[in-house]
Amino acid sequence: MTGWLQKQWLSYTPWHAFLLPASLVFFIISSLRKWLYQNGWLKSYRLAVPVLVVGNINVGGSGKTPLVIWLAKQLQIAGYRPGIISRGYGGSSHEVLAVLSHSDPQQVGDEPLLLARRTGCPVFVGVDRIAAGQALLAAHTECNIIISDDGLQHYRLQRDVEIAVVDGIAGFGNGALLPAGPLRESVARLTQVDAVVVNGRCELGNIQALNPIEMRLQATNFYNLLDPDKVCSVDSFAGKQVLAIAGIGNPQRFFQQLHTLGLQFESKAYADHYAFQAQDFAENVADIVVMTEKDAVKCLDFAKPGFWVLPVSADIQPELMAVVLNKLTN
268-283: average pLDDT: 93
pLDDT above 70 (res 191): yes
E strands along the chain, which residues? Answer: 51-55, 82-86, 97-99, 123-125, 145-149, 161-167, 195-199, 213-218, 222-224, 231-232, 242-246, 266-269, 288-292, 307-310, 313-316
Q: What percent of the chain has pLDDT over 90?
A: 82
What pLDDT score does 203 carry?
Answer: 66
Report the alpha-carbon distance of residue 3 to residue 271 in Å, rounded: 9
pLDDT digit string (tens) for 288-313? 999 999 999 999 999 999 999 999 99
pLDDT digit string (tens) for 241-264? 999 999 998 898 899 999 999 999
What pLDDT score does 195 carry?
Answer: 96
**CB neighbour list of residue 299: distance below 8 Å, 6 or more residues apart:** 225, 276, 291, 307
Query: 24 falls in which pLDDT band (50, 70, 90)?
Result: very high
Mean confidence (pLDDT) of the chain: 93
Angle at 126 between CA 120 and CA 128, to 5 degrees: 130
What pLDDT score does 43 carry?
Answer: 97
What pLDDT score does 213 carry?
Answer: 94
Q: Sign of torsion, CA 113 289 304 302?
A: positive
What pLDDT score does 5 carry?
Answer: 81
Query: 207 falls in which pLDDT band (50, 70, 90)?
Result: confident
What pLDDT score does 210 carry?
Answer: 83
Identity of the highest mean pLDDT range in 81-95, 134-148, 213-227 = 134-148
